[in-house]
Amino acid sequence: MTDEAAPPSAVPAGRRAKAATIYDVARAAGVNPSTVSRALSKPGRINVKTEERIQAAARDLNYRLNPMARALPTGRTRTLGLLIADITNPMFFNVVRGAEREATRRGYTLVLAESQESGEREAEAAERVLPSVDGLVLVTSRLADDQIQDLAERGPLVVINREVEGVNSVVPELDPGIEQALAHLAELGHTAIAFLSGPANSWMNRARRESVLANAPSCGMAVAEIGPAAPTLDGGRAAIDAVVASGVTAVLAYNDLMAIGLMRAAQERGLTVPGQLSIIGFDDIFGSDFTSPQLTTVRTPLGRIGEDAVRRALDLIDDTPTAPAATEEPLLTELIVRGSTGSVDG
Amino acid sequence: MTDEAAPPSAVPAGRRAKAATIYDVARAAGVNPSTVSRALSKPGRINVKTEERIQAAARDLNYRLNPMARALPTGRTRTLGLLIADITNPMFFNVVRGAEREATRRGYTLVLAESQESGEREAEAAERVLPSVDGLVLVTSRLADDQIQDLAERGPLVVINREVEGVNSVVPELDPGIEQALAHLAELGHTAIAFLSGPANSWMNRARRESVLANAPSCGMAVAEIGPAAPTLDGGRAAIDAVVASGVTAVLAYNDLMAIGLMRAAQERGLTVPGQLSIIGFDDIFGSDFTSPQLTTVRTPLGRIGEDAVRRALDLIDDTPTAPAATEEPLLTELIVRGSTGSVDG
DNA sequence: GTGATGGTGGCAACCGTTTGCCAATTCTGG
DNA sequence: CCAGAATTGGCAAACGGTTGCCACCATCAC
């Protein structure tokens, strides 16, 4: 009873009783199918009494509109494609969650495609889902700018964490969190820090690096640059030599994964964190508080980013003339101080 | 340039140039639309020369089949619904990834719906996606058995991590990993351990607990049961009092999250892990190796579970007469020994 | 030369909605 | 009481494919 191997006997596919159509409802209510269609999708267009009769008939027959049949004449599927580079990257979880939430709120369904970090597969996946979705959200696209622009011409499209000329994008404001992080380190007495770069061709990596470089001087800090390296645990881990060689007392890593990898490597080498090396990550991913010490990090409002991206895409689709900017709260990053930062050891 | 706030000016939705249809292709190739349809989907049915001519025309016009239009007469969407209770639960990542992979491999697309841990929302979501997918995979359903059975009557359905009478399910074999875990603890000298229960109504929790209870005696160990508690960090954290009171030297938690919460609480209370308390988790989720010490855990082959579930669903849909059981390798759990287990302190 | 055979490709119906157009009916106001 | 407007609901044509059925033609064996 506990855990016998899943029995090999598959249960046969249930005969899907074919669903009621508007014709059935029409017959039951004694009206024309077109009237049923209107009763169900254009409230007020027809007489209240007939509408009620139709509603009742539909309920009786347990009628459900066939989305495919509707999509044919209208060209609208009430479906949104979400293209993500790598489901395994924990930063996506929150994005997906926010996206899912906003989509269901507006009656849309999410179609998921993973490109496994490959631009080619991503283009392929985009082609595959494009004809059956009303819009597309690209989460951390590996596509070139012009490919993205082409895609944007073919339908509503929103990119997350990247800016492409002429394409809608949702990007958080990096400066607030980075300023806080730098101020925090300055306060702790650090004067020489390093930015540990992620992938060289990543728009977000460049943005983060530039913000750090731009804001450091005003805190009286010198910034060395280390990397680029893979945005993974191992990428961070491998950077330890360079970090030690650079002689800095604190590191701002491109993302949490690298920060955690670096922390591990430092500890394995006998360095104390934060005693001898302070480390700050980026994103505040799931698990960044599992480490000892817990990771100090610049949180990105991932959930709200996903939500906003979907909202934008849906506004485009519904031709809502761009939600008044006033209602959209800015997407701010914010420093979360935990245990991996401290004052420099005497 | 670095990170100005996302500009409020939305780029207008590109006018989606309407795509070429088989009629366009037919005209270009000088044949009947039905011939185009056959050329494209029934290889060999028509003359090689004409087929080539049609292929060429299709390529020229950049023709793509309209999935919705195809779905109407055939009733098949080449789409699979994935219902998950909570995207945020890290155990889903791997499941989703495996599912996505197998789905694309077979030319299917995944439609995602989250039920936010609510049975009601789950039923709703199922209703919503059901008419537009060819099958359904339930990841950690909050539905009652009979609701699931009803759903199974309406179309191909597979449940993950749960067994329901008469419904296809994919569940890993728990015994191997649990036996290894118990043997491992026995070898380290533990004789009194506890099982920290997750949600009382969870099928998987019951299965794990029963396997532990069933296998412990043969290792000469006494098992106390603690809980039930929420399957979260806090749920694990809150159990520390009960664990201490029970006087056991090792704990097997329902899942990794609880194990990590418990570890944290133990350490905060000055207990050494594994010195005074050994802890084993379940699943080997992302981040379970971020902790200090890294978590020893019984790994569940989450990715393969997702893959298998999709395979099963697709076999059901394609009426493949249940893949010969021989080809399916069993889904075994396996103990991953890391740092959170050790011999009992003198 | 003829009838059977098999390979090709056209015809038209159908899948379940939506929607423009129009006819019939009811409601207005003068 | 009547013309004109507003409601209401039916008709039929899409939307873009699939597929059963049939006709045509070239072979082929006899």
CA–CA gap between residue B233 and residue B254 (Å, rounded): 11
Whether B174-300 and B77-170+303-327 are alike in CATH topology: the answer is yes
Record the tokens describing residue B243, joined without a space: 């664990």
Q: Crossing angle of helices A33-41/A48-61, nearest 10°?
A: 100
Q: Are B98 and B302 in contact (CB under 8 A)?
A: yes
- Which are the contacts of B19, defined by CB distance < 8 A and separation ≥ 6? A131, B63, B64, B66
Q: Which position has the token pair 């596919």?
A: A13
Superfamily of domain A77-170+303-327: Response regulator (3.40.50.2300)
- Under DSSP, the state recorded for B325 is G
Q: How many CB pairs under 8 A join A and B?
A: 214
Which amino acid appears at position A133 of this protein? V
Which amino acid appears at position A342 of this protein? G
Q: In terms of residues, how long is chain A?
A: 346
DSSP 3-state of A279: strand
CA–CA gap between residue B142 and residue B148 (Å, rounded): 10
Nucleotides of D under 7 A from a protein CB: 7-20
Cβ contact, residue pair A2, B175, below 8 Å: yes
DSSP 3-state of A262: helix
- Give the residue from A11, A209, A213, A288 with the most B CB atoms within 10 Å of its CB, the best one to mutate: A11
Q: Which residues of A touch B125 (CB under 8 A)?
A: 104
- Which residues in window 33-72 of B are less than 7 A from strand D by Cβ? 33-34, 37-38, 40-41, 63-66, 69-70, 72
Record the tokens describing residue B344, joined without a space: 């009992």
Q: Crossing angle of helices A48-61/A22-29, nearest 10°?
A: 120
Q: Are A288 and A261 in contact (CB under 8 A)?
A: no
Q: How crowded is the C-beta side of B334, counted as CA atoms within 13 Å?
A: 6
pTM of the complete model: 0.89
Give strand pairing partners of A192.
A222
- Which are the contacts of A74, defined by CB distance < 8 A and separation ≥ 6? none
CA dihedral A197, A162, B290, B259 (to 10 degrees): 170
CB-based contact, B328 to chain A, within 8 Å: yes
Nearest CA-CA partner of A290 in B257, B66, B296, B217: B257
Q: Which position has the token pair 């392929």?
A: A124
Strands (E) across chain A are located at 79-84, 109-114, 135-138, 157-160, 168-170, 192-196, 222-226, 250-253, 278-283, 296-299, 334-336
Nearest CA-CA partner of B111 in B142, B134, B143, B88: B134
DSSP code string of A170-225: E--B-HHHHHHHHHHHHHTT--EEEEE---TT-HHHHHHHHHHHHHSGGGT-EEEE
Helix (H) or strand (E) holding B43: none
Nearest CA-CA partner of A79 in B116, B67, B154, B72: B67
Record the tokens describing residue B309, joined without a space: 């579930």
CA distances from A258 to A228, A289, B131, B136 (A): 11, 14, 43, 37
Say how many C-beta atoms besides its own lie within 10 A of residue A9's C-beta: 9
Residue B124: alpha-carbon gap to chain centroid:
20
Is the peptide bond between B12 and the residue preceding it cis, with omega within 30 degrees of 0?
A: no
Instruction: Tell me the per-residue pLDDT of A145-162, one tens digit each, with 9 for 90 and over.
Output: 999 999 999 899 999 999
- Residue A50: CB less than 7 A from any atom in strand D: yes
User: Going residue by residue through chain B (346 aa), what tens digit of pLDDT does each one get?
Assistant: 343 444 444 555 444 567 899 999 999 999 999 999 999 999 889 999 999 999 999 999 999 999 999 999 999 999 999 999 888 788 888 999 999 999 999 999 999 998 877 888 899 899 989 999 999 999 989 899 999 999 999 899 999 999 999 999 999 999 999 999 999 999 999 999 999 999 998 999 999 999 999 999 999 999 999 989 999 999 999 999 999 999 999 999 999 999 999 999 999 999 999 999 999 999 999 999 999 999 999 999 999 999 999 999 999 998 665 555 545 789 999 999 999 999 987 5
CA at A42, C1' at C23: how many angstroms apart? 21
Q: Which residues of A touch B288 (CB under 8 A)?
A: 290
- Residue B22: CB less than 7 A from any atom in strand D: yes
CA–CA gap between residue A161 and residue A308 (Å, rounded): 12
> What does the domain layout of chain A look like in residue ranges?
22-62, 77-170+303-327, 174-300
Record the tokens describing residue A104, joined without a space: 């269901």
Say how many C-beta atoms besides its own lie within 10 A of residue A116's C-beta: 18
Write the residue in B100, B155, B169 that is nearest to A112 by C-beta: B100
- Which are the contacts of B201, defined by CB distance < 8 A and separation ≥ 6? none
Residue A166: alpha-carbon gap to chain centroid:
20
CA–CA gap between residue B283 and residue B257 (Å, rounded): 9
Phi-psi region of A242 (alpha: psi -120 to 50; beta: other; left: phi over 0): alpha
Nearest CA-CA partner of B251 in B240, B293, A232, A316: B240
Cβ contact, residue pair A11, B72, below 8 Å: no
Q: Which residues of A touch B96 (CB under 8 A)?
A: 87, 112
CA–CA gap between residue B214 and residue B53 (Å, rounded): 67
DSSP 3-state of A270: coil
- Under DSSP, the state recorded for B17 is P
- Residue A33: CB less than 7 A from any atom in strand D: yes
DSSP 3-state of A252: strand
Helix (H) or strand (E) holding B6: none
Nearest CA in chain B to A62: B127
Cβ contact, residue pair A10, B316, below 8 Å: yes
Write the residue in A2, A154, A175 that is nearest to B14 by C-beta: A154
The values of phi and psi at residue B314, to 5°, are -65, -35
- Under DSSP, the state recorded for B131 is G
CA–CA gap between residue B285 and residue A326 (Å, rounded): 40
Cβ contact, residue pair B87, A77, below 8 Å: no
CA–CA gap between residue A11 and residue B169 (Å, rounded): 9
- Residue B21: CB less than 7 A from any atom in strand C: no
Q: Does domain B174-300 have CATH number 3.40.50.300?
A: no
Give strand pairing partners of B225.
B195
Instruction: Tell me the per-residue pLDDT of B25-80, one tens digit each, with 9 for 90 and over.
Output: 999 999 999 999 999 999 889 999 999 999 999 999 999 999 999 999 999 999 99
Q: Which residues of B touch A100 (CB under 8 A)?
A: 87, 112-114
Nearest CA-CA partner of B118 in B141, B136, B95, B135: B141
User: Going residue by residue through chain A (346 aa), what tens digit of pLDDT does each one get?
Assistant: 343 444 444 444 444 567 899 999 999 999 999 999 999 999 889 999 999 999 999 999 999 999 999 999 999 999 999 999 888 788 888 999 999 999 999 999 999 998 877 888 899 899 989 999 999 999 989 899 999 999 999 899 999 999 999 999 999 999 999 999 999 999 999 999 999 999 998 999 999 999 999 999 999 999 999 989 999 999 999 999 999 999 999 999 999 999 999 999 999 999 999 999 999 999 999 999 999 999 999 999 999 999 999 999 999 998 665 555 545 789 999 999 999 999 987 5
Residue-level pLDDT at A157: 96
Instruction: Tell me the per-residue pLDDT of A258-297, one tens digit each, with 9 for 90 and over.
Output: 999 999 999 999 999 999 999 999 999 999 999 999 999 9
CA–CA gap between residue B309 and residue B100 (Å, rounded): 11
CA–CA gap between residue A246 and residue A320 (Å, rounded): 52
Q: Which residues of A touch B319 (CB under 8 A)?
A: 13
Q: Which residue is nearest to nucleotide D16 (CA to C1')?
A: B69
